[in-house]
Amino acid sequence: MSAHSGVPAPVESEEPRSPCYDAATEEDVEFNKEFRHCFTTVDDVQMHYVVGGEGSQVMVLLHGWPHSWYVYRDIMPSLLPGRTVIAIDLPGMGDSTGDPSSMARAVLAGYVHQLLNHLGYRENVQVVAHDFGVGVAYALAAQYREQVAGLFLMDFPLVGKRLKFADFAPLSWHFSFNQQYPLAEEMVRGRVETFMSFLFAPSETGEIPASDAELAEYVRVFSRPQVLHAGFELYRTWGQDEIDNTEFQDSPLTIPVRMLTTVGFAPITLPALQDAAPQAIGSAVPDVGHHLVHEAPDHVLAEINAFFSIP
């Protein structure tokens, strides 16, 4: 596809329903010179997204769990040359407000699709995604093929014909814990900081998965009851993803697809991804944990720019 010709005029943002949405950026003078927080309602869910740049190429950033758009904050300015960059809080998460009809990735992709349509970006969108954002990115590309030009994906097992949730559920305790309703909510509510501090403890390699500022921002958003619940619901809908992705994989993707992953996860992620996109390529990043954007931002940035051309 040719590059998107012309960037639509900025859509007027709605009054935010989420308090303190800019807590992590309100005093970040340099960031606020280039980016703005925006809100748009899609099917009764007010979507929060951070947008910057006026480049002809649109790039969308999708986060996973337990993150928000903020996972990309450090690399976003360096993605701007030639691009319009949009980091989205997934429906029900971050500072998006309202209850999506389901947290299944095919449903979440529909909200992203409608938001991008509203903003005027109906084709040639480059998509970068991490963790559960990968599932949303794939469902977006599989359902709305004219909208997505390519996928740069990070460290997520794409279930479907080959891979089932049961195949990797034993790899981490939280895969099963997060599925327990309402136990997970009841155990973590009021203890979000303790829970997040454990999830972002230094890895075995000594890498620190999140700074104090990043951890504080994730504690803030996951202290919102709807976000805590929606995050756990991501794990409770994996079975629906198996059904949806199995159907999507009957029509393989032909756009460029790249997977970046940790060393231990590579044997699982790439073969499963190639069921969805047979020409997909991938590589592993040594000496880092799951939180690739936090732990290796320079490497991730270089890989994104090498994969996606800049106008």
Domain parsing of the chain, residue ranges? 29-163+240-308
Cross-strand pairs, 14: none
| CA 242 from centroid of its chain's CA atoms | 19
Q: What is the pLDDT of residue 117?
A: 97
Task: Give me the architecture of the 29-163+240-308 domain, per CATH.
Answer: 3-Layer(aba) Sandwich (3.40)
Contact between 25 and 32 (Cβ < 8 Å): yes
Rg (CA), the chain: 18
Predicted TM-score (pTM) of this structure: 0.95
| CA 202 from centroid of its chain's CA atoms | 22
Nearest residue to 45 (alpha-carbon basis) of 14, 68, 20, 73 = 14
Q: What is the pLDDT of residue 9?
A: 47
Q: Is the dihedral of CA 107, 236, 258, 202 positive or negative?
A: positive
Could you identify the residue written with the tokens 């940790």? 262
Q: Which helix (H) or strand (E) holds 259?
A: strand 257-262
Q: Which helix (H) or strand (E) holds 84?
A: strand 83-88
pLDDT beneath 50, residues of the chain: 1-9
Contact between 132 and 157 (Cβ < 8 Å): no
Distance CA 85, CA 72 (A): 11
